[in-house]
């Protein structure tokens, strides 16, 4: 990853300008009576790595296709530098796109695939040779220029698609689940590479995925979509630590949900009851009925009653060993089944089905979420 | 294919199959010795084998002119059918709605409707358009009946063409015409060529339409052969038939080869 296409400045990108480079305003796309995208507005700052995350059918790909120009919105606008590009045909937008399943031209060599965007802009192959070479070097495929796409592995094809989408210095790179067809190890490698590319080129990336780990590890900003609407958006840390709704807490990472009745309130914390037990929670509760999201890794396991603010006794109903972690399913009287993740190398309790153990957590381990 | 045991039932099936095959092919095969006859009427050679009827074809102005006319008509109608049929197939594939599916089915009507009925209708219509007994009239009529074959073969090669490849081309800055020229057509070329071969063969030996919509000016090869048979049993017809069979066989083999290549490139 040492060479970049000619003319692209390296190094860190300048602070985001006051005006977002791209913006979506009240985008709606109807298919018959069904709204695939329902009144979505979002800003895409220059140089951002923005991820649209959601389950299938949440409208994330529809939004991406609308930005690319393949789907005409039913209403709403797509803006570049505050000017509408909603009706501009896809070939006039100067956006690169990496498709799910690569979409390489099967009858062209790797080199000709990368030449294509320059070719349709009137650049001859000899003129383009330097830039093609640099783009292929950038994705470490210089040696395979003369191959046909069918002669490459999935990971290599994905790299060609990347080189092809970047060689003409697009204003925006759109990525539609680009890693979903690759095996886990290769996916992890390419995540590093994509992030590296983004940092070096400074190009704005809009990334679509249903893989929450991918979204967390790569993005500057994540937009979580649900049924065509934005559920919550923000940087990965905020979304993971402060999910606003039950849906976000469940979709981004795993969560245990504790639903209880507020018993009493103090300054900055409150107590709630579930099944006859009382627990302490930091924060404020607006209603009498509250739902807390509690991450499995923020729970701890003990052989004896711990001195944490909250503690419950339970029985290991099942456990999984992952090398790095144990995942315990602990059955408790008040909370039902609770999932606990413990680093395996310092697991205090004996991992055995039927073992009676204690679980404990602090008041700030859980967050109050809206129950939707 | 493993060789099974030669039971009675198997012998019956094999015998029946070969009989049917012989029944289909033998009449065509008999043409070949007839074309080498030394007699001046349609018969098997008596004294010796002779090429005089082949010579007669290549020296007779009437036969050569008819061949030329057929060739012009077949070439022109093939070009038109390939252009229109390919665009129709691409359009239907690209739009891909229920409406475009019905358009594609509707395109098959010229194959389904009996040629005589179509010929009659065209004759009536061509009179009004003053197209009877003109090159343009025959070329248009043949384009009409050959378009379905192009639509079928091109649609087949588009069926497994990923729509995202077309989107990728547009996204990378290619206009619609650049996309068709640089991405879609190279990919569907085997289908287009198969369609062209079908169109050419069908136009070259089509006679029903020609009999209806031409009179004295246009004489295609099939029409000459037809007239020749009615006048006297000139063995030149057998010579021509032999050459046509060889030509058609060559074209069909080419089509087969293209289809195999298409299947290979699809897999």
B16 within domain boundaries: no
Residue from A103, A165, A167 whose CB has the most chain B CBs within 10 Å, to mutate: A103
Specify the CATH number for the domain of residue B222: 1.10.3720.10
Task: Let me know how many helices (H) and strands (E) chain B has, helices first.
Answer: 13, 0
pLDDT of residue B232: 73
The candidate with the shortest Cα–Cα distance to B131, out of B140, B119, B142, B143, is B140
The rounded mean pLDDT for chain A is 90
Q: Which domain holds residue B94?
A: 61-266
Distance between CA atoms of residues A342 and B51, nearest Å = 95
B97 in contact with chain A, both atoms CB, cutoff 8 A: no
Domain with CATH 3.40.50.300 in chain A: 22-248
pLDDT in tens, A51-106: 999 999 899 999 999 999 999 999 999 999 889 999 999 999 999 999 988 899 99
Q: State the DSSP code for A151.
A: G
N-term to C-term CA, chain A: 44
Q: At what angle do helices B61-95 and B98-106 cross, to 10 degrees?
A: 170
Instruction: Decide if A90 and B170 are in contact by the 8 Å CB cutoff.
Output: yes
Instruction: Decide if B162 and A101 are in contact by the 8 Å CB cutoff.
Output: yes
Query: Contact at 8 Å (CB) between B90 and B184?
Result: yes
Query: Does domain A22-248 fall into CATH 3.90.1170.50?
Result: no
B254 within domain boundaries: yes
Q: What is the mean pLDDT of residues A135-164?
A: 91
Query: Contact at 8 Å (CB) between B165 and B186?
Result: no
Instruction: Decide if A120 and B164 are in contact by the 8 Å CB cutoff.
Output: no
B33 within domain boundaries: no
B165 in contact with chain A, both atoms CB, cutoff 8 A: yes
Counting residues of chain A whose pLDDT is more than 90, the rounded percentage is 79
Give the residues across from A84 on adjacent strands. Answer: A79
Q: What is the mean pLDDT of residues B31-36?
A: 88
Counting residues of chain B whose pLDDT is more than 70, the rounded percentage is 96
pLDDT of residue B237: 86
Residue B101 predicted with pLDDT over 60: yes
pLDDT of residue B108: 87
Q: State the DSSP code for A102.
A: B
Chain B: closest CA distance from residue A64 (Å): 12
B50 within domain boundaries: no
pLDDT of residue A10: 40
Chain A: closest CA distance from residue B152 (Å): 22
In chain B, the number of structural domains is 1
pLDDT of residue A299: 95
A236 in contact with chain B, both atoms CB, cutoff 8 A: no
B169 in contact with chain A, both atoms CB, cutoff 8 A: yes
Higher-pLDDT residue of A175, A346: A175
Out of B165, B174, B186, whose CB is closest to A120? B174
A98 in contact with chain B, both atoms CB, cutoff 8 A: no
B26 within domain boundaries: no
B99 in contact with chain A, both atoms CB, cutoff 8 A: no
Q: State the DSSP code for A286.
A: -
Query: Contact at 8 Å (CB) between A160 and A147?
Result: no
Residue A20 predicted with pLDDT over 90: no
B10 in contact with chain A, both atoms CB, cutoff 8 A: no
Domain with CATH 2.40.50.140 in chain A: 255-369
Instruction: Decide if A70 and B165 are in contact by the 8 Å CB cutoff.
Output: no
pLDDT in tens, A250-295: 999 899 999 999 999 988 899 999 988 999 999 888 888 999 999 9
Instruction: Decide if A101 and B172 are in contact by the 8 Å CB cutoff.
Output: no
pLDDT of residue A128: 93
Compute the count of residue pairs across chains A and B with CB atoms less than 8 Å apart. Answer: 69
B258 within domain boundaries: yes
B267 in contact with chain A, both atoms CB, cutoff 8 A: no
Give the residues across from B98 on adjacent strands. Answer: none
pLDDT of residue A18: 54
The rounded mean pLDDT for chain B is 88
| Nearest chain B residue (CA) to A114 | B172
B83 within domain boundaries: yes
Distance between CA atoms of residues B37 and A31, nearest Å = 72
Residue A358 predicted with pLDDT over 70: yes
CATH homologous superfamily of domain A255-369? Nucleic acid-binding proteins (2.40.50.140)
| Nearest chain A residue (CA) to B188 | A107
- Residues A198/A204/A206/A212 CA torsion (nearest 10 deg): 40
pLDDT of residue A14: 46
Distance between CA atoms of residues B172 and B183, nearest Å = 12
Out of B162, B172, B187, whose CB is closest to A107? B187
A69: which chain B residues are within 8 Å (Cβ-Cβ)? 170-171
Higher-pLDDT residue of A161, B44: A161
B129 within domain boundaries: yes
User: Three-state SS for A288?
Assistant: coil
CA distances from B245 to A61, B207, B248, B250 (A): 55, 16, 5, 8
pLDDT of residue B265: 61
């Amino acid at each position: 990853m040492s060479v970049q296409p000619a003319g692209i400045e390296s190094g860190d990108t300048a602070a985001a300008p006051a005006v977002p480079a791209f913006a979506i305003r009240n985008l709606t796309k109807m298919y018959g009576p069904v709204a695939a995208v329902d009144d979505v507005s979002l800003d895409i700052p220059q140089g951002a790595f923005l991820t649209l995350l959601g389950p299938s059918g949440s409208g994330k790909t529809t939004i991406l296709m609308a930005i690319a120009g393949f789907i005409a919105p039913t209403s709403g606008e797509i803006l570049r530098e505050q000017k509408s590009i909603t009706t501009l045909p896809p070939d006039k937008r100067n956006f690169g796109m990496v498709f799910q399943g690569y979409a390489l031209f099967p009858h062209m060599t790797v080199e000709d695939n990368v030449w294509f965007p320059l070719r349709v802009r009137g650049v001859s192959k000899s003129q383009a040779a330097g830039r093609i070479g640099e783009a292929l070097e950038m994705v470490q495929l210089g040696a395979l220029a003369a191959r046909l796409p069918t002669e490459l592995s999935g990971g290599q094809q994905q790299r060609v698609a990347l080189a092809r989408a970047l060689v003409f210095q697009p204003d925006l790179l759109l990525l539609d689940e680009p890693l979903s067809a690759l095996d886990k190890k290769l996916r992890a490698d390419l995540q590093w590479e994509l992030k590296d590319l983004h940092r070096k080129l400074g190009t704005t990336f809009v990334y679509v995925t249903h893989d929450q780990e991918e979204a967390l590890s790569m993005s500057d900003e994540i937009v979580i979509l649900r049924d065509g609407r934005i559920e919550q958006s923000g940087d990965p840390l905020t979304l993971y630590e402060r999910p606003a709704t039950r849906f976000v807490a469940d979709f981004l990472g795993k969560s245990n949900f504790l639903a209880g009745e507020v018993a009493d309130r103090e300054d900055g914390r409150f107590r709630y009851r579930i099944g006859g037990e009382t627990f302490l929670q930091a924060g404020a509760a607006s209603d009498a009925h509250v739902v807390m999201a509690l991450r499995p890794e923020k729970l701890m396991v003990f052989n004896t009653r711990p001195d944490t603010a909250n503690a419950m006794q339970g029985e290991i109903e099942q456990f999984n060993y992952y090398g790095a972690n144990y995942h315990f399913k602990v059955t408790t009287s008040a909370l039902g089944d609770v999932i606990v993740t413990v680093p395996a190398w310092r697991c205090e309790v004996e991992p055995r089905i039927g073992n009676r153990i204690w679980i404990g957590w602090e008041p700030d381990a859980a967050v109050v979420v809206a129950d939707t | 294919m493993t060789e099974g045991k030669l039971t009675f039932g198997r012998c019956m099936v094999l015998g029946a199959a070969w009989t049917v095959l012989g029944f289909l092919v033998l009449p065509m095969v008999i043409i070949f010795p007839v074309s080498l006859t030394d007699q001046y009427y349609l018969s098997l050679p008596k004294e010796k084998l002779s090429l005089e009827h082949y010579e007669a074809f290549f020296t007779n102005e009437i036969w050569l002119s008819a061949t030329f006319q057929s060739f012009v008509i077949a070439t022109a109608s093939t070009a038109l059918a390939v252009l229109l049929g390919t665009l129709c197939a691409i359009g239907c594939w690209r739009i891909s709605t229920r409406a475009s599916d019905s358009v594609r089915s509707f395109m098959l009507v010229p194959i389904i409707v009996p040629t005589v009925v179509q010929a009659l209708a065209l004759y009536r219509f061509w009179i009004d358009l003053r197209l009877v007994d003109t090159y343009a009239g025959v070329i248009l009529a043949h384009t009409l009946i050959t378009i379905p074959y192009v639509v079928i073969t091109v649609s087949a090669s588009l069926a497994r063409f990923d729509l995202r490849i077309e989107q990728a081309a547009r996204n990378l800055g290619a206009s619609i015409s650049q996309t068709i020229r640089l991405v879609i057509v190279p990919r569907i070329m085997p289908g287009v060529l198969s369609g062209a071969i079908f169109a050419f063969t069908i136009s070259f030996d089509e006679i029903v339409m020609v009999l209806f919509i031409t009179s004295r000016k246009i004489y295609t090869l099939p029409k000459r052969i037809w007239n020749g048979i009615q006048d006297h049993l000139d063995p030149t017809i057998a010579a021509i038939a032999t050459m046509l069979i060889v030509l058609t066989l060559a074209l069909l083999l080419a089509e087969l080869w293209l289809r195999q290549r298409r299947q290979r490139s699809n897999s």
